[in-house]
Amino acid sequence: MRSTLAALSLAFAPLFAAHADTVVVTADRMLDVTNGRWVDKPQITIVDGRISAVATQGGMVEAGARRVDLPGVTLLPGLIDMHVHLTSDPQYGGYRGLEFTDNFWTVVGVANAKKTLEAGFTTVRNVGSSNYDDVALKQAIEQGQIVGPRIVPATYAIGATGGHCDTTEFPPSMNVPSPAVADGPQAIRATVRKLRKYGAEVIKFCGTGGVFSKTDAVGAQQYALDEMKALVDEAHMLGLKVAVHAHGTSGIKDAIRAGADTIEHASLADEEAFRLAKQHGTWFSMDIYNDDYILAEGEKNGTFKESLEKERMIGLKQRQTFQAAVKAGVKMVFGTDGGIYPNGDNAKQFVTMVQWGMTPLQAIQAATVNAAEALGRPDELGVIAAGSRGDLIGVTGDPLADVARLQAVSFVMKGGEVVRSTR
């Protein structure tokens, strides 16, 4: 017993002995995103990457603290994008991606991680990548090898044979490895276990067809209810949340019934789906900016013709569904599908969300408090409060009057470290 205690105190000694790194940030004002109130002249103290106090300027500043004074700046919590693919770049559409070696995409991810963080997104959920690239990015960021946001990695997206998450653009003789294609409850459970083993912190699966896949109909359901239930049950048992790619009506409803946590896209959700989502507390994560980009740039990017056709069918409809869902009171998080459009442009979606029925505050909440809650991390992300991570962004002007201000972030801090300060 004594030796255990001695070993323990030895193990923790460096923690107590180390000199704490303290930084004090001041600005003109701060938005309390929980209730939409302005706080004037804030003074935020961050110790070893976590906020220790939120006070008003003029209060005590610890001797030896670093100071970051931001006159003229409005502070908000670091933003959260719940749906990105850091290792994708839309300019290589259709078969163009085949010109590159596998690890090309890892390197693309390194560049996109930096762009995303500099755009004010201090946390992202990466819901689908190959080769466990998102785990590698997360590790490299945490080790200080590269610069990027906090990442919640899904690794591979799980899906049915021939579905949106399978590779359906090759003939049978070209047998492309598909480590997360699984059919039937048992195989699906085993795949969830495998992905968690190799670093998944959220499970993504394809419940219906999609736009950027050949051979499937966007609205078609691709996993049966019992398969979805097995997947969600296994993931939840392992403590992981579940994100479902679902455009189609029946697939959305079954995913909600199965207990999924977030519905990605949700394009063809109907009133019954809204009711079910409210009843189950399911979040919608709707990438409604994409349509503008895909229709403007898709052809030039080499996007498959059938994908562009599917986009024309679903783009406007998804925005109308978003508007109806907001009106119905469905809980919303901010998810853009970065990678389908250029990563780093994430904040462009705020304007679209306001055009389609949200108040600027609601759109900001979707990317802060709501996202943090949907991640299961409301105590450390999405707010500027004691105990939270020192993740802050700064803008000039009033984002509640003009949400486009969030596209011009002038200050970004992650875990108490300044990432960007352009003034």
- Interacting residues toward ligand ARG by CB under 6 A: 210-212, 265, 287, 290-291, 294, 311, 314-315, 318, 337, 340
Nearer to ligand ARG, 286 or 381 (CB): 286
Residue 220 CB, nearest approach to ligand ARG (Å): 12
Measured from the CB atom, the residue of 270 and 402 that comes closer to ligand ARG is 270
Which of residues 30 and 206 has its CB atom nearest to ligand ARG in the complex? 206
263: CB partners within 8 A, 6+ apart: 244, 246, 252, 255, 256, 269, 277, 282, 283, 284, 285
Minimum CB separation from ligand ARG for residue 348, in Å? Answer: 13
Q: Which is nearer to ligand ARG, 164 or 196 (CB)?
A: 164
CB of 110 to ligand ARG, least distance (A): 22
* In the complex, minimum distance from the CB of residue 149 to ligand ARG, in angstroms, rounded to a whole number: 20
| Closest residue by beta carbon to ligand ARG | 210
Name the residue nearer to ligand ARG (CB basis): 44 or 330. Answer: 330
Evaluate whether 119 touches 127 at the Cβ level (below 8 Å).
no
Q: Is 67 left (phi over 0), alpha (psi -120 to 50) or beta?
A: beta
Q: Which is nearer to ligand ARG, 74 or 336 (CB)?
A: 336
Residue closer to ligand ARG (CB basis): 126 or 388: 126
Q: Which residue, 50 or 317, has its beta carbon nearer to ligand ARG? A: 317
Beta carbon of residue 11, minimum distance to ligand ARG (angstroms, whole number)? 45
Least Å from the CB of residue 115 to ligand ARG? 19
Minimum gap (Å) between residue 41 Cβ and ligand ARG: 41
Tokens 């000694």 locate to: 13
Measured from the CB of residue 243, what is the shortest distance to ligand ARG in angstroms?
A: 12
Give the C-alpha separation, 283 to 260, whole Å. 9
Q: Report, in Å, the least distance between residue 370 CB and ligand ARG.
A: 19
Q: Which residue lies nearer to ligand ARG by CB, 120 or 209? A: 209
